[in-house]
Structure 1
Amino acid sequence: MPHPHSGIATITAFFEGHMTYGDTTGKRGAMSDGAVEWMRAGSGVWHAGEPSPGGVVRGFQLWLALPPNLELSPAESLYCEADRIEHHGPARILLGNYQGKGSPIAAPAPITYLHVRLADDERWTYYPAPNHDIAWLATNAGRLQIGDAVLERELAVFAEGSDAIDLISQGASEFVIGSAAKHPYRLVKGAFSVHTSVAALTEGERTIAQIRRSIAFAALAARQPDRR
């Protein structure tokens, strides 16, 4: 079903499956294995996605808080098939730049976000950019050894800093890993929105309500299957 956002961006990486998508910016289409969806909600947007009947969709979605100059900007969406995503070794660059390779998506702040697959016993090191001070990792398949810790189907947030992160794969593994400069603004939260101030949140929620009454929303809702 359609749902709204404002003040944030989301990036969704699909690892398996097939789904249709649509949003109130007018974008429509279908996505499959390896595709990436970018949605900068800005001042407000409604979007929806449906897996193919009987199918399974597997992947990760990351939310990014936007700075004041973008949190009320016009909504934009970008859908990239797998062949548009650059690689560096076992890593696909979903957002930002890494080791001379870059994402087709313009990042709203200093960030690197990768999708990585490793073979059994493969060793790999992630090098955050010098101006990044937070890093995280989420595993989807297999086990990863990081120092004395072993992660399986877990989300890990690392100590602040830009030190290299050494990993050893136990079995074939799949995960996302990223680093960024910390968001320096307040997080003012609504039901579907995150902004930097109460005034911006109020404006975003007002825009969401206006879009809900628009022709663009009616067209989006009409494309969704009846699940009653």
Structure 2
Amino acid sequence: MDYEEFADEKCQSLMQIQEEFREKFGIDRYELWHYDAELELLRLYNDDQDQLFLKYIPIGTFSLKSETWMWSWYNEYAAEPSKENLLVIKDFGIKNDYHKLVEGTFSADEFDCWEFAAICFDKLDGIGVYRLTTEKLHSYLLVNKILEDDAVEVIKYRQQKVNCEAHGYSRDAFVCQHLNLEQSKGFEEAFDTYRGMQLDEDDDFQAWCSECEKVRLQSDGWNDESEEFAKIKLICEDCYFELKSFNSK
């Protein structure tokens, strides 16, 4: 069987299972998401009382800008330990001369991505597929387990995150005292960010307003004077991107 026939067969099989998966767990009704790569834990939620925790295996990512696919086993920045499980797919591709399953990264389209997800679902244990969507990437995850609130991974997740009154548990972020959702004050960042991006171990989401930027430049960087003016405070990642959207207008 050539690759096109094989991939189409697996896609047709996944479509029915995927519909049952979405309906059974109400996947589509959650408006927000957050994931922890090291714990391989995906949190879908509307608030702290309405949420779902899922364990996953990373399949790969699709760049919306370059229109390229990258398998998770090839991505050196992917922190998930189970990305090595995807080498089973690579070995299968080598045996069957399916080049798209062997190359680490290459030009693709979104239909290709769902084919890859369907093949992984067929070859690895899973109960469904979830696609995370950001401004720059689509990340495809093979969901293999639904976790209860008292699961070890969920407890660890909560211990490592900021507990925000509005959004529940999320990654921490830091902003100046002036940023708010009432009056746009400009938005300066330590580096360009997007929701859901993976951060290096020593990095944090950090932002400040235009006035803080003036003081920072006048003070030759961050020091006692500029930090006193900014009065940086801790917030959650979701609050951070709400502030970014509003203050970047």
Q: Which has the higher contact order (CA 8 A, sep 6+)?
A: 1
Structure with the greater alpha carbon radius of gyration = 2
TM-score, L = length of structure 1: 0.27
Higher helix fraction (1 or 2): 2
Task: Decide which structure has greater strand share.
Answer: 1
* TM-score (normalised: structure 2): 0.26
